[in-house]
Structure 1
């Protein structure tokens, strides 16, 4: 039944039989047959369907909760038995907010030094996408904000406090300043992350708290694109300190602290809540707990 439950979870996630089949690497007829067999085994209809996916039935909604729990438990059993036999191994998928990709790199690098049989896939996603991916088993862990918006039932380990910096070209009038107030950016040409990014929502609030509502003339979901615009000399952007310094290195731009009473926000490792966690996720949470101190000592 386990493979049928995974098919059912995929259909619920994709809301489309063809995409669900593709995500599992099987044909659509095989997927449809598997769902039908699962419905026969459970004695209920799980999905409304005619010529296309029509949503989950009330029974399907309840079954989805159980399916996720059962599949999660099965994967945990497999991982624990494998760890007992060969040590930590396997593939870990981390979905990280774009501003925390440097921390995802640090965590994965340190972890693989201790556990060389573990491989990582690191994906850049919004905070909302990360929670959905964790729920749908598309990611094993995430790096995201842990104190700004509702997260549901998850395990977290704090990594760092996000502080915000102005990034400007060497020719900007702000380049020689030791700090810049948020309100001073009013009327300047800004390029910022897109509104679906939680970082952008935080920045918007900081501007509002400073009593201004500046307009972003260029928006992108890529921080690299923002830095590239700043290099032209006419644009300003606001980024968290760590990623700002990392991407500005060797470029004709300056990173200047933003002053004022803007609230910082905690970023950390996020994993689906389970007791106990799989051995790999448990070790990853432990490593995340150590990472800020280890990084501070190396700085």
Structure 2
């Protein structure tokens, strides 16, 4: 039964029979037969079929919710039993919003010092992708904004409060200022993250509320690309304070507080809402709580 539920989860993720089969390491006929056997066992049609995948039936969507719960619990059970024999081991997959990536080493490094047999995969993801990946069991945890958009069914650990800064050349319009307003920022040629990023949605809302009409002259899903353009002196950007604190800015690049209003959002760890949690996830939550105490002043405007 578990292997057939895995097939269903892969199909939800890939939206394609062939790619789902490849993700599961089986042939497409094997995957299709497994899904059909699951349908026969439940007595309902789960998948809208045609020449290609067309989505799930209402019964299929409900079965998918159960599949996520059952497969997640089965994986957690295996890890829990394994931990009794070998301690905390395994593989943690953590999805992180781009602006928080420089901070992740402060989470993974003390974790590894306590649990050296755990390995990590760190993925750059949007907040929406993090929610979806947690639902589909593609990642074990996420680092994202906690208080701006709905998170879904997760447990959260607030870590730091995030303020916003104008990142600009010291020779640019406001390069000699100690602070700037959102209205002033709205008049600059900006390079910003792409609209699918929650940071971009936050920044655009603040610029509009200040009377501006956000129209960046360059956008990217990479903070490195944004910084490389700020370095030219022809662009400015709006990035979180913690990003500037964690990344060495070039000598002539300044990070200036933005006020009127002074806005902060909370960033933290999100993990699936499950009881009991896996030993690896339990240890990650404990490490996040310790980090929150350590950096309690970071990012506050």
Aligned to 1:178: 178
Conserved? CA contact 1:48–1:55, under 8 Å: yes
Which one is further off, 114-123 or 243-252? 243-252
Q: Equivalent residue for 1:111?
A: 111
Give the match for residue 282 of structure 2.
282
Structure 2 CA distance for partners of 1:251 and 1:136, relative to 1, 3 Å? farther
Q: Displacement of 1:296 after TM fit?
A: 6.1
**Separation in structure 2 between the aligned mates of residue 192 and residue 78 of structure 1, nearest angstrom:** 43
**Alignment RMSD:** 1.7
TM-score (norm 1): 0.95
The residue number in structure 1 matching 2:86 is: 86
Once the two structures are superposed, residues 211-254 of structure 1 have per-residue CA deviations (whole angstroms, 9 ceiling, x without a partner) of 22232110111110111111111111000011123334345311
Is 1:97 equivalent to 2:91 in the alignment?
no
Structure 1: how far apart are the matches of 2:48 and 2:107? 43
Aligned length: 298
Contact 1:224-1:247 within 8 A present in 2 as well: no
2:152 counterpart SS class: coil
Aligned 8 A contact 1:95 1:139 in 2: yes
- Give the structure 1 partner of residue 238 of structure 2: 238
Provide the rounded CA distance (Å) in 2 between the counterparts of 1:216 and 1:17: 39
Deviation at 1:31, TM superposition (A): 1.2
8 Å CA contact 1:100, 1:143 repeated in 2 = yes
Measure the CA separation in 2 of the matches of 1:61 and 1:214. Answer: 38
Q: What is the deviation of 1:110? A: 1.1
SS of corresponding position for 1:56: coil
The answer on whether the counterparts of 2:92 and 2:140 sit within 8 Å (CA) in structure 1 is: yes
- What are structure 1's unaligned runs of at least 5 residues? none
Q: In 2, distance between residues paired with 1:216 and 1:264? A: 22
Q: What do residues 33-71 of structure 1 show as CA deviations (whole Å, max 9, x unaligned)?
A: 221222233232211212211221222122111111110
Q: Contact conserved, 1:17 with 1:52, CA < 8 A, in 2?
A: yes
2:213 aligns with 213
1:156 maps to what in 2? Answer: 156
Question: Runs of 5+ in structure 2 lacking a partner?
Answer: none
Residue 130 in structure 1 maps to residue 130 in structure 2: yes
